[in-house]
Amino acid sequence: MKRFICQCGQEVFFQNTHCNACGIELGFSPSKQTVLALFENKNEPNWHRYDGLANSYRICQHRDHDIQCNWLIEGEPDHVQCISCRTTRTIPALDQPENMRRWTVMEANKRRMIFGLLDMGLSITSYIEDKEHGLAFDFLEDQRTNASMNEEHILSGHAKGVITINVAEADGSYREATREAMNESFRSLLGHFRHEIGHYYWERLIPHSIDYLAFKQLFGDETQDYGTALDQYYLNGPTDNWQDNYISAYASMHPLEDWAETWSHYMLMRETIETAFNYQICPKLTPYSDFDIWMSEWMELAVVLNALSRSIGNADAYPFIISETVNTKLKFIHHLVNG
Task: Please tell me the predicted confidence (pLDDT) of residue 330.
Answer: 96
d(CA 155, CA 236): 20
- CA 85 to CA 183: how far, in whole Å? 33
On the question of pLDDT at 285 being above 70, the answer is no
Compute CA distances 135 → 96, 98, 321, whole Å. Answer: 26, 26, 32
pLDDT (0 to 100) of residue 46:
44
Rg (CA), the chain: 21
Q: What percent of the chain has pLDDT over 70?
A: 93
Q: What is the pTM of this model?
A: 0.90
pLDDT band at 2 (very low <50, low <70, confident <90, very high): confident
Q: Which of 22-26, 269-273, 293-297, 325-329 is modeled with the greatest confidence?
A: 325-329
Amino acid at 212: Y
Whether the predicted pLDDT of 42 surpasses 80:
no
Mean pLDDT, range 33-59, rounded to an integer: 66
Strand, helix or coil at 46? coil
Beta carbons of 102 and 253 less than 8 angstroms apart:
no
Give residue-wise pLDDT tens across range 62-74. Answer: 998 999 999 998 8
Residue 191 class from Cβ within 10 Å (0-12 exposed, 13-18 middle, 19+ buried)?
buried
39-to-56, 59, 68, 237, 333 alpha-carbon distances in Å: 10, 11, 18, 56, 40
Predicted local distance difference test score (pLDDT) of residue 40: 65
Spell out the domain ranges in the chain: 1-82, 84-205, 210-339
Phi, psi (degrees; rounded to nearest 5) at 278? -70, -20
Write the pLDDT tens digit of every residue in 216-264: 999 999 999 999 999 998 888 888 899 999 999 999 999 999 999 999 9
